[in-house]
Amino acid sequence: MPIGPIRLTDRASSALRPATAARVTGGFWAERRRTNAEVSIPQGPARLESAGNLANLRAAAVGKGTFTGDFPFQDSDVHKWLEAASWQLADAPGDTELAAQVAELTGLLAAAQQADGYLQTYYQLAHPEKRWQELGWGHELYCAGHLIQAAVAHHRATGRRELLDVAERFAVLVDSVFGADKEIDGVCGHPEVETALVELYRETGERRWLELAGYFVDRRGHGLLDADVNPHLGKAYWQDHTPVRAATSVTGHAVRQLYLLAAVTDLAAETGDGELRATAERLWDAMVSSKTYLTGGLGARHEGEAFGEPYELPPDRAYAETCAAIASIQWSWRMALLTGEAKYSDLVERTLYNGFLAGVGLDGDSWLYVNPLQVREEYEGAFEPDKTARRTPWFRCACCPPNVMRLLASLPHYLASGTTGDAAGLQLHQYATGVYEAGGGRVRVETAYPWQGRIAVTIEEAPADADWTLSLRIPAWCTDFTASAPDGAAPAETHPGWLRLRRRWSPGDTLTLDLELDTRLTRPDPYVDAVRGCVAIERGPLVHCLEAVDQPPGVRFEDLTLPDDARLAAHHDPGLLGGVTVVTADGRSRGGEDVVPLTAVPYYAWANRRPGAMRVWIPRE
Amino acid sequence: MPIGPIRLTDRASSALRPATAARVTGGFWAERRRTNAEVSIPQGPARLESAGNLANLRAAAVGKGTFTGDFPFQDSDVHKWLEAASWQLADAPGDTELAAQVAELTGLLAAAQQADGYLQTYYQLAHPEKRWQELGWGHELYCAGHLIQAAVAHHRATGRRELLDVAERFAVLVDSVFGADKEIDGVCGHPEVETALVELYRETGERRWLELAGYFVDRRGHGLLDADVNPHLGKAYWQDHTPVRAATSVTGHAVRQLYLLAAVTDLAAETGDGELRATAERLWDAMVSSKTYLTGGLGARHEGEAFGEPYELPPDRAYAETCAAIASIQWSWRMALLTGEAKYSDLVERTLYNGFLAGVGLDGDSWLYVNPLQVREEYEGAFEPDKTARRTPWFRCACCPPNVMRLLASLPHYLASGTTGDAAGLQLHQYATGVYEAGGGRVRVETAYPWQGRIAVTIEEAPADADWTLSLRIPAWCTDFTASAPDGAAPAETHPGWLRLRRRWSPGDTLTLDLELDTRLTRPDPYVDAVRGCVAIERGPLVHCLEAVDQPPGVRFEDLTLPDDARLAAHHDPGLLGGVTVVTADGRSRGGEDVVPLTAVPYYAWANRRPGAMRVWIPRE
């Protein structure tokens, strides 16, 4: 059984199944995951302590004390950290220190939980009389969802039931209260419990959780939140503007929209509901065609943390919340499993390497809540203490850091999938050195991706007596590649986005794929007004950016231009920003004739040196 | 004595004095003011009735009832309507129906006022225990300010004291409570009372009001609002981020910033405080150089209704609140009087004809709160019920409509000024057919501006025995003009932005100015990223825009382009949009070779037909 999220049931109609085992053992992501394991996760409890989250749990356990924090969903930071730590424990079961921290926080949650299963310290401490009374803003089911996800991760990773018991008790309470013919016919202002309930169904086999998830998904968009809706933000903020099956566009609060669509996809997979599947496919296409940043970032507006209008994609005011990038990866991965189509993993890749990874500093200890594609020289940052273009040790609203931790900790499970039956095989969606087991076989991958384009896959195990299909995704950005198979044949792209080789494999067989990692200048979609007249530098899956600190002195950053026939070059600099491939380009300064040598670093690594201007989209003139 | 706002005292250090009399008798603004007088203002009371504002006053008068409305500053809509109606009464003293409405609302305010002078129905009805306890968000002093401005207008226009008595009672209470050594050392979250108090000083001669205004201006930026400040918005929202004398940039909530700076300018004028004057000059220059839209609109962000970063000027998400345009005009006119420099009236003109006037529909009965420079074909408008790109009959937060009414009603007083002494004379800042008396003389202006460039000025009265200077502003957009004087001489621009003719004048003498009204393509500032690669069409003071309804069928609006060497032509269409000069241009459709004839109407007239796409900035390719 796979130790990762999205453990599809046998009944799921998905085209692909998640890998039964996945381990990243070296290379780019191993390094980022090492920092996650050694810095980010270990210091989580201290951050939660100083932000008051743990004090809230202790106070709730004794039934008195004041609530600390600005938001009712404060507990969810604890839940997300526990999920991250649990996935990490699956990787390193011998980490007794981490296991002790997990046990301690689990104990705090169990102690804080009320006799009837309720658990949310904000309402327990500050407003016990308002339990279930403020569904729009209260986040009670949202917190329940994160608790369930943490509990499922903990159970999968350790086999222990302590946290799962807590989560199930809460879920039983929720199920007893919410329903068309129960005490409350209502939904939560922030989707999240829906996808969590599907996962709880997967973990426990209890169909009631799947049905409850379906109820929450389909009761949304019927005005049940009207009493709570702040007219200033509008119903779309709460994803209550339309029944999701009728939606034609992703809109409103980005993370709410994406968590909801993850649940829609989960339900489509587990119930075979074709209308839900069509909904998810339609909305994903709409999102990618007109509401997605080059970095994979989502959410064009600070106000309402929202998707904007189609083609409203300002680089400077990009919200592109780190959590939205994570939610997008979670949703797209579900879509990849459901449909088997490579385009979903193309977006996962773009988001992972750019819009997501920028959210955490190279030190693993400094964060960005919003991920703009441009910061001007004159940056004032007068507003939004949490939402600046400067890395911050923690946030007042600390949703993003533990969200990053849980994604990095579970990342290996987003990289490969398998199929059984007639088309048995293993699919590599993303390239990271490691070992992946799926579809009845196991492969070892070695690669220096994303710096180099070679991916060497060695068969460790495959059916001895049957053909078996090895599939490697050909990224959409890649216009040229070569591949060499064991028998010297060069397999070609056999399905859009997939290089497939079906044959009898023996352990030790290798398939080597060489993706041409051209450095390229990307022109924007002409309908994206905000970056008209600009180009962006990309190399492989990486979006690059200019940071002021790397540019020649004596030239005003805001005057730099890059003609779209500029000469480009790339070189790897192991000493820079933890080791990055740098792109240099023959730029200009507005009004000047001389070449100005520009240096572009990967976007994910920006804002790790002294604060300064940055831009992904560079004016052509 | 001038019957208009900003009645400078004799002690004011201002270079210019407002006109002692000003009347618009025909032409463009007469038409807009007629609609204001016949439609907008008369229906104000009914709007205030149905929005609950008047019910609040009646309830407060009897001391019981529930407060209706979403905002604590609901009363200020009444105050602003009363100000508008008062200026209107100055124009039409025989309008007994309007006078009766004014008397009725004045009576409601007087009845609602508490014995100690307090008057704000939100706190009276909903939270009497919180009086003065929520200065950040309560708007009590803001409402007091609008009450004072209304009372001053009423007193100037009618000579009656009923409303002035109400306002003075409230002001006395405020003065007894607020001060460095009084019950509360504090400021209001929304500046407004400061400029109103200076005007009360001007009206009553009581220096205490000037001093109280100075206190409120200088206590801001010292953290007095900390307890109330919503960290999500930051201190700049409340203009409490810095003492204003130390500010280097306009920032935060645009209307709050601009009302504050109007007061700074008022104080600089009345006290001769050079540091305040330098502050106002510095911040005005910073605003115009990097934070002002082509339309004069101000405020780049919906979130926090804020000025953005320097050069952050998205056309689609422009907030450019109608109230901010009004505040800008009010501030810039004070700067024009203080300094005598033409650039301030240049901005007044740009704002009046574009960013301001777009805020009210041609019918005088439909409004825009925000004034974007672009609406796409795919416009969804999912958010912000009040803040859409569609005209609305009234708003939940109805600050803009009565603000438009008061500016249009007092508009003649923003057009001309005078000087006395050695440099005695009259200055025409804006061109509207009418009669203007200032600086010891009186002139009659006839013009078809902004459709035609000829301005004919006839002397009706001038000193018989001394030289007298007639000054006409040469707009910054004008690159060519001719002028003919009584003796056949052609006066030239003698001071930046001013055509000045000093001589002995006789009644009947004329000075004719012909401004070349070229239709022109304007390229954006290269630092404004959001409109790179575009051009805008302007003609005289008017910014034009493409509306989808005027473009040829069969071409996608989002594909229209306008090369910057395109042929342009203009013709007047008396039947279109109340009579406008239309600009036609040889455009293209992206990817096509054929000429696509484009039609551009003045921006102020947009959104008066069926909803559709619009853009001011048109892609060059």
CA–chain centroid gap for B287, Å, is: 15
The whole-number pLDDT of residue A81 equals: 98
The Cβ-side half-sphere exposure at A198, using a 13 Å CA radius, reads 30
- State the nearest Cα–Cα gap between B319 and chain A, in angstroms: 12
| pLDDT digit string, tens, across residues B498-532 | 999 999 999 999 999 999 998 999 999 999 999 99
Cα B242 to Cα B246: distance, rounded to the nearest angstrom: 7
Which residues of chain A have a CB within 8 Å of the CB of B379? 309
Angle value at C-alpha B69, between B299 and B54, nearest 5 degrees: 110
For residue B229, pLDDT over 80 is answered with: no
Q: Is A426 exposed, middle or buried (0-12, 13-18, 19+ CB in 10 A)?
A: buried
- State the nearest Cα–Cα gap between A305 and chain B, in angstroms: 10
Cα A252 to Cα A237: distance, rounded to the nearest angstrom: 4
The whole-number pLDDT of residue B485 equals: 85
CA–chain centroid gap for B83, Å, is: 14
CA–chain centroid gap for A277, Å, is: 20
Residue reference for tokens 């939402």:
A387
User: Facing residues of B569 across strands?
Assistant: B584
Sign for the pseudo-dihedral over CA of B527, B531, B536, B540: negative
Cα A601 to Cα A584: distance, rounded to the nearest angstrom: 9
Question: Is B399 among the catalytic positions?
Answer: yes
| pLDDT digit string, tens, across residues A280-300 | 999 999 999 999 999 999 999
Q: B433 with B472: CB under 8 angstroms?
A: no
Phi, psi of B588 (to 5 degrees): -140, 165
Question: Is B305 among the catalytic positions?
Answer: yes
Residue in B234, B304, B309 nearest the CB of A378: B309
The whole-number pLDDT of residue B568 equals: 97
Nearest residue to B136 via CA among B229, B255, B236, B9: B229
Query: Strand A425-428 and strand A468-473: pairing?
Result: parallel
- Number of C-beta neighbours around residue A289 at 10 A: 12
| pLDDT digit string, tens, across residues B142-176 | 999 999 999 999 999 999 999 999 999 999 999 99
Which residues of chain A have a CB within 8 Å of the CB of B376? 309-312
Query: Could you tell me if residue A506 is left (phi over 0), alpha (psi between -120 and 50 degrees) or otherwise beta?
Result: beta
Query: Strand A21-24 and strand A425-428: pairing?
Result: unpaired
The whole-number pLDDT of residue B490 equals: 72
Residue reference for tokens 């600050």:
B399
* Helix (H), strand (E) counts: chain A: 16, 22
Which residues of chain B have a CB within 8 Å of the CB of A315? 529
- State the nearest Cα–Cα gap between A93 and chain B, in angstroms: 40
Residue in A303, A382, A532 nearest the CB of B236: A382
Q: A351 with A604: CB under 8 angstroms?
A: no
Q: Which CATH number fits domain A417-515: 3.40.1350, 2.60.40, 2.30.230, 3.30.390?
A: 2.60.40
For residue A144, pLDDT over 90 is answered with: yes
Interface list for A 267-306 with B (CB within 8 A): 290, 301-304, 306
Phi, psi of B274 (to 5 degrees): -70, -30
- State the nearest Cα–Cα gap between B407 and chain A, in angstroms: 27
Chains A and B: how many Cβ contacts under 8 Å? 129
Q: Is B512 exposed, middle or buried (0-12, 13-18, 19+ CB in 10 A)?
A: middle
CA–chain centroid gap for A321, Å, is: 10
For residue B267, pLDDT over 70 is answered with: yes
Please give the average per-residue pLDDT across B605-621, as a whole number: 96
Query: Are the Cβ atoms of A382 and B241 closer than 8 angstroms?
Result: yes
Query: Are the Cβ atoms of B310 and A378 closer than 8 angstroms?
Result: yes
Please give the average per-residue pLDDT across B343-348, as a whole number: 98
Cα A573 to Cα A594: distance, rounded to the nearest angstrom: 26
Nearest residue to A424 via CA among A457, A458, A463, A460: A463
For chain B, give every domain's residue range: 40-219, 242-372+383-414, 417-515, 519-619
Interface list for A 503-562 with B (CB within 8 A): 526-527, 529-534, 558
Please give the average per-residue pLDDT across B372-384, as a whole number: 84
Residue in B234, B383, B396 nearest the CB of A304: B383
Alpha-carbon dihedral angle through residues B35, B41, B42, B44, given to the nearest 10 degrees: 130
Q: Which amino acid is at A439?
A: G
The whole-number pLDDT of residue B2 equals: 72
- Number of C-beta neighbours around residue A29 at 10 A: 25
Interface list for B 377-436 with A (CB within 8 A): 378-386, 396
Structure tokens at A587: 């730029």
Which residues of chain A have a CB within 8 Å of the CB of B306? 382-383
pTM, two decimal places? 0.95
Q: B314 with A530: CB under 8 angstroms?
A: yes
Packed helices B322-339 and B274-290: angle between N→C axes, nearest 10 degrees: 130
| pLDDT digit string, tens, across residues B126-139 | 999 999 999 999 99
% of chain A beyond a pLDDT of 70: 99
| pLDDT digit string, tens, across residues A30-82 | 999 999 999 999 999 999 999 999 999 999 999 999 999 989 999 999 999 99
For residue A490, pLDDT over 80 is answered with: no
For residue B492, pLDDT over 80 is answered with: no
Alpha-carbon dihedral angle through residues B412, B413, B416, B418, given to the nearest 10 degrees: 150
Q: Is B63 exposed, middle or buried (0-12, 13-18, 19+ CB in 10 A)?
A: exposed
The whole-number pLDDT of residue B329 equals: 98
Query: Are the Cβ atoms of B252 and A310 closer than 8 angstroms?
Result: no
Structure tokens at A97: 């220190």
The mean of the pLDDT values for chain B is 95
DSSP-H helix ranges across B113-139: 121, 135-138
Cα B585 to Cα B562: distance, rounded to the nearest angstrom: 8
Model confidence at A487, pLDDT cuts 50, 70, 90, reads confident
The whole-number pLDDT of residue A384 equals: 66
CA–CA distance from A66 to each of A54, A77, A460, B371 (Å)? 12, 18, 57, 45
Query: Could you tell me if residue A488 is left (phi over 0), alpha (psi between -120 and 50 degrees) or otherwise beta?
Result: left
Which residues of chain B have a CB within 8 Å of the CB of A396? 231
Please give the average per-residue pLDDT across B273-299, as a whole number: 98
For residue A109, pLDDT over 80 is answered with: yes
Query: Are the Cβ atoms of B396 and A231 closer than 8 angstroms?
Result: yes
Contacts of B428 (CB under 8 A, 6+ apart): B415, B416, B436, B443, B445, B455, B457, B470, B471, B472, B473
CA–CA distance from A52 to each of A40, A74, A183, B211 (Å)? 18, 9, 33, 45
- Number of C-beta neighbours around residue B250 at 10 A: 26
Active site residues of A: 305, 399
Query: Are the Cβ atoms of B301 and A302 closer than 8 angstroms?
Result: yes
The whole-number pLDDT of residue A383 equals: 59
Query: Are the Cβ atoms of A526 and B304 closer than 8 angstroms?
Result: no
Element (H, E) at B495: strand B493-495
CA–CA distance from A424 to each of A457, A605, B392 (Å)? 17, 39, 60
Structure tokens at B430: 């804006």
Domain covering B242-372+383-414, topology: Glycosyltransferase (1.50.10)
DSSP-H helix ranges across B126-238: 135-138, 140-158, 162-177, 193-204, 207-219
| pLDDT digit string, tens, across residues A181-227 | 999 999 999 999 999 999 999 999 999 999 999 999 999 999 999 87
The whole-number pLDDT of residue B383 equals: 60
For residue A308, pLDDT over 70 is answered with: yes
Which residues of chain A have a CB within 8 Å of the CB of B589? none
Q: B43 with B35: CB under 8 angstroms?
A: no
The mean of the pLDDT values for chain A is 95
| pLDDT digit string, tens, across residues A340-365 | 999 999 999 999 999 999 999 999 99
- Number of C-beta neighbours around residue B543 at 10 A: 26
Which residues of chain A have a CB within 8 Å of the CB of B317? 301, 308, 312, 314, 317
Nearest residue to B82 via CA among B405, B390, B325: B405
The whole-number pLDDT of residue A3 equals: 84
Cα A308 to Cα B383: distance, rounded to the nearest angstrom: 9
